[in-house]
Structure 1
Amino acid sequence: MIAMNFKISLILCFLILFPTFNTAQSSDSILAKIGSEKITIEEFKNRFELMPHLNYPTKNIDSLKELFLYSLVAEKLWYSEAVKKEIDTSAIIGNSINALKNLIIKDEVFRNEVESKVTFSAFDLAKGMNRINKNLYVKVVASKDSNEIRIIYNLVHEGKNFDSLLISRNEFKYQSKPIKMSLGSIDDENAEDIVFNLGINEISPILYFKNQWYIFKLIGYEADSTIALNTDETKNKVKTIITDRRRREVGGRFIDNILGGKSINANGNILNHFNEKLLTVLETKLQNRKDSLSNPELNEFDYYLLMKAIEHKKLNAVLFNVDSYSYTLTDFIYYLIYQKINIDIRKPDEVKGILQAALKDFIESSVIVQFGKMKNYDSHPSVQRYLKSWITFYYSESMMQSIADSVKKSSADINYNLSKDDKLERKKIQVNIAEILTKNISVAEKILDEIQNGNDFNEIAGRYNERENTRKNNGIWGYFVADYAGGIGEIAVKLNIGEVYGPIKTNEGYSFIKLLDKRVLPDSLLKKDDENKEFEKMKYSYDKLNEILNKKTSKLFEKYNPEINTELLKSLEVSSLNSFTYRLIGFGCKIAAFPITIPLYEWKKGIKKNINVP
């Protein structure tokens, strides 16, 4: 058995998203109603403004709002059908929803038990304002051994030179120059007070924080000329620093309180078995790694493959108990997925330590969630509303994915289409695209975030692209005739060079494309037989799936007869400066603020009746 000793250092982060609404429009006003489901102004604005939409054929804000709403309506229609048919969403969906629910409960605990109890005084603010433009330069001796730090401290006070003692220690290699410190650099407020009050060349008493003992020596200080005092910006910066530190203090006391007196033992045999299986997966992935640019970390898909390699009995074995609650290896694996624990396939020696640290955090997280359930925080409307948006997304995606999985095409079909298309009039536009293909939605979220942040598309493709024949070229396809690539070609032709479109739903997963170039060539230079058949597969995957999903959505519209308030939509003011937004969860972790909205709007062309209800 592995005994877990809890002395916890927390990273506490928290974000509240405050949408703004026109006073004439209530946040809960209904834009669309689909059976018992509805799309409110609040949900529309959150999904529209706080997540990127790179994948719509118009930049006109009114047209974009309309197409985006149709895509949200499609999501609700597929969800309604999934519920009506009582589909088996698979263990993956069920466990994903449960893991997400636990994160939201943790966040609600943080709001009520930590955030609401964070306070600071006018004196605290004044002290912070006095220090905000002051940079200290220090040298530091640090040790986890209290006896060692006392010996060093006594030597200094007996006349030994502090710098000479530091030179002989490991921490000196990080201090070729004095360490720069400013307000908030030290987590412990009392320790910061002592250091800021030191005189030049003065030695601090022994200080303890973050599970280590420290001795500081002040070398010098200077004023930061870039910070203007007595401005609202500076005052808000000081408030943020103080608030973040108080959150850590209050949160730490809260964790100590709910964990106090608990003796928790983990099943070491199960953890060791998981470690062995994980090392096997790491070794296989490392051997199959195509190049040094591809992403070296385990992803969600790798964990799913790992679970398939572990016996069902061991997956459901109890890993540890807390009070009357039992937690299995499966619970722990989904925690690893949602916490996005980084495991580098190039560093197998670090795996055991990473797993033990993650298990310790998982136990802590589980106790917080138990506390939240005891307080009925899981029943709070804000928790239920936020969770429902993700459940709707997961169920609709599960239904659509079952369609995507059925889209297959044989080599004979491809050859037939190549022959048939040769009889068509040749088009002259060739395009060159770079593509990033991924099989799972969580990686798609990472890609979308990096694109939105302006990261290099080719570099992102080198790490995440899963299409075998373009991995070595950073996702670059080379020139092909746009007309022969169906919907993909149509999208590429409409893009400006350098523009990105995605995610595109295909039977292979989620695809992002960037137009690198387009050119017009004479017919005599175009040879259809030379076109890569991979484009035909890509064309079929997109066109066939897009056709099936839109036809099915049209039928679902007729079945559920949604009501859409287009007049309210027209009057709704939204920002066109959308971005990928994370929701930072209290006690650490972050998730996408809202689900990605997969573009699905062409179905409205197949609706005969007026779909707009003013």
Structure 2
Amino acid sequence: MKRTLIISVALSLLSIFLLAQKTAPPLSTDTLARVGNSVITGRDLIERIELMPWEGKENPYQHDSSKIKALNSLVAERLLAIEGKHLNIGSDQQTELKIRSMEKMFVRDELFKREVKQKVTVSEPEMRDGLAKFAWQLHIAAIAVKSRSDGDSLLRMLNKNISLAKIITDIRPTFITAVETVQVNFGGLDTLFENEVYAIGKRKFSKPFVSSTYGWTVALIIDRGTNPVYEKMNSGDRRIRVDETIRMRKENIVARRFFAKIMSPQKAKTDSVLFFALAKQLRAIIVQDSTRHLNKGIFGVKSEDVDHLTILFGSDLQKVFVELNDRPLSFGEAIEAMRNLRIGFPSLDENSFVRAFNYHLRTIIESELMSREGYRQNLHYSEAVQRDVQSWSNYWISRYLLWRVNDSVTVSNDELLEGLRSSLSGIGNAYEVNVQEVLCDSLSTAMSVWDEYSRGTSLSDLVKRYSKRSEWKDDGGISKFIPLSKDPEITLRAFLADTGTIVGPVKICEGYSLFKVLGKRAIGAANMPPADSIQINIKNNLLGQKQARSTSAYVAYLAKYYTIDVRHKKLMQITIQPANMYTRRMIGFGGVITATPMLYPNWEWMKEFRETEKQLP
């Protein structure tokens, strides 16, 4: 019988932050390019290279070329996305789940902006109060007591000028449960504690109050000094810092109230069979490479883990996982939601893991319900959501198409051999090979030798009867170890082949060579990479070069097919900051994502496109 796991969707304490071929439409003044029927604006370009790393951005002298490369790359991404959609790339179940989940996240974020951020203001009296607190840094003794009456008893002792040291060492009241020395600055996590200690003013101690950190507390000022952060700021920056702090605190209050309003009538019923299957597989993935998943004592879920899970549970993704008031949450939707929520586990113990995952499932359900409220308000039609979804879907679809193009590119043995020849000056005297060769005077003789060898005749006998290479004949045709620079037509082919294999017949200047690879080795330095690693590196370099040429040719073709209008001169109006950074965007009502998709470097196609344009009559 299928069991059912009941989850009551309760109010969670949230820390919520936000970073921060028809006739084409007329171009706006900041339009940098038209790609088919879509446009790329200055804002599009700035966001992609300001918030994420980009080559040359850190050097102001390279800004002009850096902006050109970025714009060309953005045009390439848009072309690939348009073509990818025509090829139905991104219509598979996993990609549709990914893009849909991203839309839900942006809808939730837009809901936060409208229901929380837009309803919060900071008054001038609040600003003055915040600036007054921000100016001071306090060193406090936080004295935790059992109850309000115990706090009053402690307060009476302090009012009689009995020192805290004497109270603790001599009087030793049993109602004091803890004493901690803390540094307090404006903007800390325990707002109530902060308000109470700043309210002490010129007095030395507070009245008893309830702190979220210590419970019933009496605060005693040890020292009061100027806040060093405050001192380093100008007046404008101080106001910005105080405004941000007050807004964040008020936003959290408004958000909790709105969150409670949406969550209060909700109930969720989860399929326990799918729940335990998912928990088991997720734990197995993390355990398999726990070191890579561990960060600051927490085993976190990575994006590629979600990809792995969607493949593992491919046939179950459409199943009902959580029954909700209006419509169910599918198994695939729940898995995909983990990509951009902070899912982590302090322990990989099986029972602890399941308990933690049950908590995270509640977060997934809560996020889903907040997104549904956003859809109910039609926020998925808002310009901000549409723009974010379009940006990310273009990124994913273009990448998938590019991977498909690159996967069709291969490196032949002849190309690899040519690559080795071009590298001979660097590796010719660094590696040696050992072969056993039969050198024949004609191709027909070489083929006869191959036939006899295939029927079981030993290579040593064939060397005695047929080989024309006198310097190796006395050793049974064995070359002993010789550097790649010697007889490269043989040595390079031997370097490419697996040890023990037969190579040939190969046409060389002396005739036709048929040889067996006996061994390969690096010469001298013990830190030289193995021969196989050199082959792999050269092959990967050649593959990368071929893929780059293939990509450039393909994008240039798409640029001609869909038509483009790129306005490089307008880049002179665009200013970028000379700092590379990796920016994360915190999502309202929970979630985190990179601020924008990483722009893939893809600008070389423009040269080929311009060449073809010149050739047109």
Q: TM-score scaled by structure 2?
A: 0.69
2:289 counterpart SS class = helix
> 1:581, CA displacement in angstroms?
2.8
- Correspondence 1:270 to 2:274: yes
Calculate percent identity across the aligned residue pairs. Answer: 20
The answer on whether the counterparts of 1:282 and 1:348 sit within 8 Å (CA) in structure 2 is no
> Mean Cα displacement is larger for which, 46-55 or 156-165?
156-165
- 2:551 — aligned with what? 549
Q: Are the structure 2 counterparts of residues 397 and 154 from structure 1 closer, same or farther at C-alpha, using a change threshold of 3 Å? A: same
- 2:238 — aligned with what? 234
Measure the CA separation in 2 of the matches of 1:34 and 1:83: 14
The answer on whether the counterparts of 1:27 and 1:41 sit within 8 Å (CA) in structure 2 is no
Encode CA deviations 1:11-43: one digit per residue, 9 max, x unaligned: 121224xxxxxxxxx976322112112211221
Q: Are the structure 2 counterparts of residues 28 and 79 from structure 1 closer, same or farther at C-alpha, using a change threshold of 3 Å? A: farther
Show the 5 A alignment for 1:321-360: 321-343=323-345, 350-360=352-362
Q: Are the structure 2 counterparts of residues 558 and 408 from structure 1 closer, same or farther at C-alpha, using a change threshold of 3 Å? A: same
> 1:262, CA displacement in angstroms?
2.6
The answer on whether the counterparts of 2:185 and 2:227 sit within 8 Å (CA) in structure 1 is no
> 1:366, CA displacement in angstroms?
1.6
- Correspondence 1:398 to 2:400: yes
Q: Are the structure 2 counterparts of residues 162 and 200 from structure 1 closer, same or farther at C-alpha, using a change threshold of 3 Å? A: farther
Measure the CA separation in 2 of the matches of 1:104 and 1:599: 26
Measure the CA separation in 2 of the matches of 1:585 and 1:394: 20
**Counterpart amino acid of 1:33?**
R
Encode CA deviations 1:370-411: one digit per residue, 9 max, x unaligned: 1111111111112112221111111111111122333455xx
Show the 5 A alignment for 1:460-479: none
Q: Are the structure 2 counterparts of residues 141 and 266 from structure 1 closer, same or farther at C-alpha, using a change threshold of 3 Å? A: farther
> 1:357, CA displacement in angstroms?
2.6
- Correspondence 1:181 to 2:184: yes
> Mean Cα displacement is larger for which, 269-278 or 340-349?
340-349
The answer on whether the counterparts of 2:32 and 2:39 sit within 8 Å (CA) in structure 1 is yes
The answer on whether the counterparts of 2:109 and 2:587 sit within 8 Å (CA) in structure 1 is yes
> 1:118, CA displacement in angstroms?
0.7
The answer on whether the counterparts of 2:140 and 2:222 sit within 8 Å (CA) in structure 1 is yes
Measure the CA separation in 1 of the matches of 2:174 and 2:283: 39
Measure the CA separation in 2 of the matches of 1:378 and 1:365: 15
> 1:111, CA displacement in angstroms?
1.1
> 1:155, CA displacement in angstroms?
7.9
Q: Are the structure 2 counterparts of residues 307 and 66 from structure 1 closer, same or farther at C-alpha, using a change threshold of 3 Å? A: closer
- 2:303 — aligned with what? 300
Encode CA deviations 1:139-161: one digit per residue, 9 max, x unaligned: 44779xxxx75696588589896
Q: Are the structure 2 counterparts of residues 196 and 305 from structure 1 closer, same or farther at C-alpha, using a change threshold of 3 Å? A: same
The answer on whether the counterparts of 1:2 and 1:265 sit within 8 Å (CA) in structure 2 is yes
1:284 to 249, 264, 288: 288
1:325 counterpart SS class = coil
1:222 counterpart SS class = strand
> Mean Cα displacement is larger for which, 592-601 or 131-140?
131-140
2:10 counterpart SS class = coil
Q: Are the structure 2 counterparts of residues 154 and 275 from structure 1 closer, same or farther at C-alpha, using a change threshold of 3 Å? A: farther
- 1:312 — aligned with what? 315
**Counterpart amino acid of 2:42?**
I
The answer on whether the counterparts of 2:116 and 2:254 sit within 8 Å (CA) in structure 1 is yes
Q: Are the structure 2 counterparts of residues 548 and 209 from structure 1 closer, same or farther at C-alpha, using a change threshold of 3 Å? A: same
The answer on whether the counterparts of 1:46 and 1:594 sit within 8 Å (CA) in structure 2 is yes
The answer on whether the counterparts of 1:50 and 1:593 sit within 8 Å (CA) in structure 2 is yes
The answer on whether the counterparts of 2:47 and 2:596 sit within 8 Å (CA) in structure 1 is yes
- Correspondence 1:120 to 2:122: yes
Measure the CA separation in 2 of the matches of 1:321 and 1:246: 33
Show the 5 A alignment for 1:133-148: 133-140=135-142
- 1:64 — aligned with what? 66
- 1:30 — aligned with what? 31
- 2:593 — aligned with what? 591
Q: Are the structure 2 counterparts of residues 166 and 349 from structure 1 closer, same or farther at C-alpha, using a change threshold of 3 Å? A: farther
- Correspondence 1:256 to 2:226: no
- 2:562 — aligned with what? 560
Measure the CA separation in 2 of the matches of 1:57 and 1:165: 61
Encode CA deviations 1:419-467: one digit per residue, 9 max, x unaligned: 434544745699xxxxxxxxxxxxxxxxxxxxxxxxxxxxxxxxxxxxx
> Mean Cα displacement is larger for which, 338-347 or 364-373?
338-347
Encode CA deviations 1:32-60: one digit per residue, 9 max, x unaligned: 11211221122122223332213799963
- 1:389 — aligned with what? 391
The answer on whether the counterparts of 1:134 and 1:221 sit within 8 Å (CA) in structure 2 is no
1:236 counterpart SS class = helix
Measure the CA separation in 2 of the matches of 1:427 and 1:98: 53
The answer on whether the counterparts of 1:28 and 1:42 sit within 8 Å (CA) in structure 2 is no
- 1:53 — aligned with what? 54
Measure the CA separation in 1 of the matches of 2:57 and 2:243: 40
2:339 counterpart SS class = helix
Q: Are the structure 2 counterparts of residues 76 and 345 from structure 1 closer, same or farther at C-alpha, using a change threshold of 3 Å? A: farther
Aligned-residue Cα RMSD (Å) equals 4.0
1:338 counterpart SS class = coil
Measure the CA separation in 2 of the matches of 1:389 and 1:4: 36
1:135 counterpart SS class = strand
Measure the CA separation in 2 of the matches of 1:292 and 1:201: 42
**Counterpart amino acid of 1:582?**
R
> 1:265, CA displacement in angstroms?
3.5
Instruction: Figure out how many residues of one structure are paired with residues of the other and give that number.
Output: 491
Measure the CA separation in 2 of the matches of 1:79 and 1:168: 66
1:87 to 89, 94, 98: 89
The answer on whether the counterparts of 2:144 and 2:176 sit within 8 Å (CA) in structure 1 is no
- 1:503 — aligned with what? none
- Correspondence 1:40 to 2:41: yes
Measure the CA separation in 1 of the matches of 2:102 and 2:294: 34
Measure the CA separation in 2 of the matches of 1:290 and 1:372: 33
> 1:267, CA displacement in angstroms?
3.5
The answer on whether the counterparts of 2:110 and 2:374 sit within 8 Å (CA) in structure 1 is yes
Query: 5+ unaligned residues in a row in structure 1: which ranges?
Result: 17-25, 431-525
Runs of 4 or more, structure 1, over 6 Å off, are 55-58, 157-160, 165-168, 288-293, 526-531
The answer on whether the counterparts of 1:422 and 1:528 sit within 8 Å (CA) in structure 2 is no
> 1:574, CA displacement in angstroms?
3.9
Measure the CA separation in 2 of the matches of 1:57 and 1:263: 51
Q: Are the structure 2 counterparts of residues 166 and 248 from structure 1 closer, same or farther at C-alpha, using a change threshold of 3 Å? A: farther
Encode CA deviations 1:332-363: one digit per residue, 9 max, x unaligned: 22111112423468666642343223222222
> 1:418, CA displacement in angstroms?
5.1
> 1:277, CA displacement in angstroms?
2.2
- Correspondence 1:376 to 2:374: no
The answer on whether the counterparts of 2:416 and 2:539 sit within 8 Å (CA) in structure 1 is no
- 1:519 — aligned with what? none
Measure the CA separation in 1 of the matches of 2:105 and 2:66: 32
Q: Are the structure 2 counterparts of residues 528 and 182 from structure 1 closer, same or farther at C-alpha, using a change threshold of 3 Å? A: closer
- 1:469 — aligned with what? none
1:221 counterpart SS class = strand
Measure the CA separation in 1 of the matches of 2:280 and 2:294: 25
- 2:488 — aligned with what? none
- Correspondence 1:420 to 2:418: yes
Q: Are the structure 2 counterparts of residues 552 and 264 from structure 1 closer, same or farther at C-alpha, using a change threshold of 3 Å? A: same
The answer on whether the counterparts of 2:35 and 2:79 sit within 8 Å (CA) in structure 1 is yes
Measure the CA separation in 1 of the matches of 2:295 and 2:130: 46
> Mean Cα displacement is larger for which, 298-307 or 241-250?
298-307
1:87 counterpart SS class = coil
